[in-house]
Each structure stands twice: as structure tokens, then as C-alpha cells.
Amino acid sequence: MRTILVTGGAGFIGSHFVREFLKNHADFMVVNFDKLTYAGNPDNLTDVSKSSKYELVKGDIADKEAVEAVFKKFKQDFVVNFAAESHVDRSIHGYARDFVDTNIYGVFNLLAAAKDAGVKRFVQISTDEVFGSLDISSKSKFNEKTQYNPRSPYSASKAAGDLLCHAYFATYGLPIVVTHCSNNYGSYQYPEKLIPSFILKALAGKPLPLYGDGENIRDWIHVLDHVSALEKVLFKGKNGETYNIGGGQELANIKIAKAILGALKKPVSLIKYVADRPGHDRRYAIDDSKIRKELGWKPKYRLEKSLAQTVAWYKNNQDWVKGAVSRLKEINPHIDI
């Protein structure tokens, strides 16, 4: 039986990947290596936790010895790295060191171990934020050749991790692939992110704080579309290449807020404009023609319907929500969710 190491597999996107991978690949053992911080929630995978083909190992990719131990215990055929500090506001407001430790040093530890283990494919999950910001009135999009221009400690740390991956391919021939995805949404997303945060605030009748004028634009993709793209990349992608993954659904943050309020039949007056975030990128847009043409992937989920389903999921899964909020408040007791 082949083995795939999924780092950060208890997080939002990682847990969906683990669940779908187990469903689709009966000939694989999935080893989930996760630090289990507030964002790494074992409750995300209760439905597969007792599977004989799934094992959860608690560990930090920034811990060299822990990484070496999991590679020694399990012979890894493939590695997919979701493990990352990812909340931009946290990187700006006092936690930048955590982002450097995980997103740079942690990636280095994984690459070094993967090289020694002779893995067949290493997939680095990155972000469109490494490319910087697009003009809001422009029709241009990020493609795989777009120059990196990170504008926050988060995106800078992710860019550095990506470059380490490409260096390991060029120097050692390590079979890596890097992916850049647009903003994800769906079930099990931790409450500090925009969509679940707005849903939970709206449910409680609290104001929805919207940065600046609310017109910042993001390209949105359903998490299951992202997962299906990653499976294509894992098995059909070309070593050393980068693939952009987009939903093709650009929407301003103000429209996301209004859609959530509409789904919950809450008044638009709950929207509260607040001072803009430092270095707030104006627009992201992904050109995903490469993965569509070369690997035959395309998204299936449309935002109009799937966002309403996501709102309903948070409304109907209050036990999960309470646990996730509790974990978040352990590190930030003052957060308002």
C-alpha cells in the first residue's frame, strides 16, 4: 500500500483533501501530520478518524526532529503540504515570527526530509497573495509567470517557501509542484476568515466589520474544487511546474457581506465600515488556463448556490462552531466572534 503524508491535514482545506483522498484512493494510507493549533481541528475529520487507512500524528513542521521522525516511521510516496500560518491579520499584528517559522523553516524541514526519503512527488500549497495586488479597474490576472510581489509578512513567508521548493527541484531534482489558489470557502473553515466570520456575526446580530470601502475584490473557489485540482496536480502535474487554481468568480467583499446577510434574512445595516488593513491588496484574479488545458481540470461549484449552502452549514453545525471558536479564543481571548 502506498502512503501519502498530508501536513496540516486537520485544517480547513487539508481536512477536505484528506476526506476526499480516502474516498477516491483505496490503495493509499493517509498520514496526517498536524500541529493541532486553533486552526488544526481534529473535529474536522471525525468521520474518518477510525479508518485503518488513516493516521493522525501530532507534530510541527518547524520541528526538525518531529519531521524526521514521521518520515522515518512511514515510508512516504507523496507529500502534500497544507501546513501554514495563513491569517493575514495575525501576520501583521504581532505574530510575524510564527509565519517565518512555519512557512519558511517548516517548508525547509519538509523538503530536506523528502529529499532524503526519495519521495515521488512533493506538492506545495501556496497562495495567489504572493503576486501582490492588481488594479481594481484592470482586466489583468495573475498567471504562472507573474512576478512575486508580496505585501504582507504572510505572503512574503509563503513566497519564500515557494522559492525554496523551486530551488530543491533545480538543485537536487526533488520532484516538486507548487500551486497558487484563490480564496477558498466552504464548510469547516475556521472562524477568523472573512466568510465564516461574517456568517457567525450575522447569526448573532453583530456588526460585520468591512475594511475600507468594501470594494476589494477576490476570486472565490469552493474548497472541493480546490481539492479536485490538487488531485490532478498530484498525479498528472509536471515536476518543477507551477499551477494556478482559480474559481473564476470575482466578487467585492461588500457583495459577499450582502449575500451572507441576504441568505440569513438580516439587514444590510449590520455592515460597519472600519479603517482599512495595512497593505490591503486591492484585487486578486487568477488565470487558471494552464491547469485547465494541461490537466483537464475545471471548477464545478458556483458561488451563488454554494455560498448559501455554506451559510446553512454554519447555521446547522453549532457544536462544531462552538468548539472552533473556543479553540480560537484560547490564543486570542479578546477576539469578537
Catalytic residue among 129, 192, 281, 288: 129
Of 217, 214, 233, the closest CA to residue 225 belongs to 233
Neighbours of 137 (CB within 10 A): 7
Catalytic residue among 38, 54, 154, 301: 154
Of 179, 155, 181, 177, the closest CA to residue 246 belongs to 181
d(CA 319, CA 329): 15
241 part of the active site: no
d(CA 88, CA 101): 15
One-character DSSP codes across 174-217: --EEEEEE-EEESTT--TTSHHHHHHHHHHTT--EEEETTS--E
Of 201, 199, 202, the closest CA to residue 188 belongs to 199
DSSP classification of residue 277 = P
Kindly provide the residue ranges of all beta strands, DSSP E only, lying in 137-296, ordered along the sequence: 176-181, 183-185, 208-211, 217-222, 242-245, 250-252, 271-274
d(CA 21, CA 80): 11
129 part of the active site: yes
* Burial 314-331, CB ≥16 within 10 A → b, else e: beeeeebbeebbebbeee
Catalytic residue among 60, 85, 128, 162: 128
Residue 97: helix, strand or coil by DSSP? helix
Q: Show which residues are catalytic.
A: 128-129, 154
